[in-house]
Amino acid sequence: MTGRFSWFLRAAAGAVAVVALVAGCSTADTGADSEPAGGGAFPVTVASGPAASGTGVTIAERPDAVVSLSPSATETLWAVGAGAQVVAVDDRSDYPAGVPTTDLSGYSPNVEAILGKNPDLVIASDDTGGLVSGLKAAGVPTLLLPAADTLADAYAQVERVGVATGHADEASALAARMRAEVDAVVAATPHRDAPLRYFHELDDTLYTITGDTFLGEIYGRFGLESIADGVGSGDRYPQLTAEYVVAADPDLIFLADGQCCGVTPATVAARPGWAGMRAVTGNQVRVLDEDLASRWGPRVVDLVREVGAAVAAQPVPAG
């Protein structure tokens, strides 16, 4: 399993939606239909981490030295207008251009190295290696934003980042715009009575996703069904065999391993038995941008557009 995919799977496997957000002494729902909480006043307390064990993190003053250990959080910080408040981002954060990328790791964080950036807020996807307790001992609040399970989670996290950094209004507007753009792309894509079936390749050892995942929800919005839904193991990220994929004969194949593993439509077609699959013969093997396919920030709209374009390219049966 590639390091890139193992990082994504680690984050996704532990994701639990956290939709409560508290601003000052009041509590506001940050779900799909919620109003923005707060207007930039501090202190604020923002829900942090998995709902089963997480508590609110209190941010006393507007942070001006933010460290992001999550590429999705990094993209969100810039999208809500908080980029100027960020002093360092992790080694996987590379968007937008010019972010202050460092050798800090979100996968195996080093508390001492993080504190060396003199942060007044750290945002991460996981509490790994004693991250939260170590930073708390130094008086630095940590906002945990686990991998999103649903689109609603992604929108809610945008709003949390906005409140935590003093950009609640901008974040609320961004989340609403993301929701509207996703809905518009889905609505503009031709509907078909019989669902298309897809195989989403996470890496070249044939790990994939089921419909019960963040990516699965995106595909499901277009009426697509994962061939892994029939595996029956209960694993949301199962590893399939080549024989299983060939026998399932999906209508569409999405490759999220083009950059990491050099997988292309041509290499897929060259796999034993794959050349006759309908996705291959119909030129429906699509290479996805790996960053879009492994992050849950504002650019999820771009991923939705990619999937919508692939679905729209499939002929709709007459009648």
Sequence-separated (6 or more) residues with CB below 8 Å from residue 137: none
Cα 307 to Cα 292: distance, rounded to the nearest angstrom: 11
Q: Which helix (H) or strand (E) holds 124?
A: strand 121-124
Model confidence band, residue 8 (pLDDT cutoffs 50, 70, 90): very low
Higher pLDDT, 83 or 56: 83
Model confidence band, residue 54 (pLDDT cutoffs 50, 70, 90): low
Mean pLDDT of 265-292: 97
One-letter amino acid for residue 10 of the chain: R
Chain centroid offset of residue 98 CA: 21
Domain 192-312, CATH among 3.30.300.30, 3.40.50.1980, 3.40.640.10, 1.10.357.10: 3.40.50.1980
Mean pLDDT of 207-220: 97
What's the angle, vertex CA 261, arms to CA 104 and CA 282, rounded to 5?
135
Q: Does 67 score more than 50 pLDDT?
A: yes
CA quadruple 27, 158, 36, 305: dihedral positive or negative? negative
Model confidence band, residue 160 (pLDDT cutoffs 50, 70, 90): very high
Percentage of the chain lying above the pLDDT 70 cut: 85
One fold for both 3-182 and 192-312? yes
One-letter amino acid for residue 292 of the chain: L
Higher pLDDT, 306 or 22: 306
Take residue 110 and report the two structure tokens written for it.
């080093």
Judged by DSSP in three states, 46 sits in strand
Mean pLDDT of 177-182: 98
pTM: 0.86
How confident is the prediction for the chain on average, in pLDDT?
Answer: 88
Higher pLDDT, 219 or 23: 219
Q: Does 98 score more than 50 pLDDT?
A: yes
Mean pLDDT of 51-55: 57
Q: What are phi and psi of 279, to 5 degrees?
A: -65, -35
- Residues 85, 48 contacting (CB under 8 angstroms): no
Model confidence band, residue 137 (pLDDT cutoffs 50, 70, 90): very high
The highest-level CATH class for domain 3-182 is alpha beta
Residue ranges per structural domain of the chain: 3-182, 192-312
At 55 the pLDDT is: 78
Q: Does 159 score more than 70 pLDDT?
A: yes
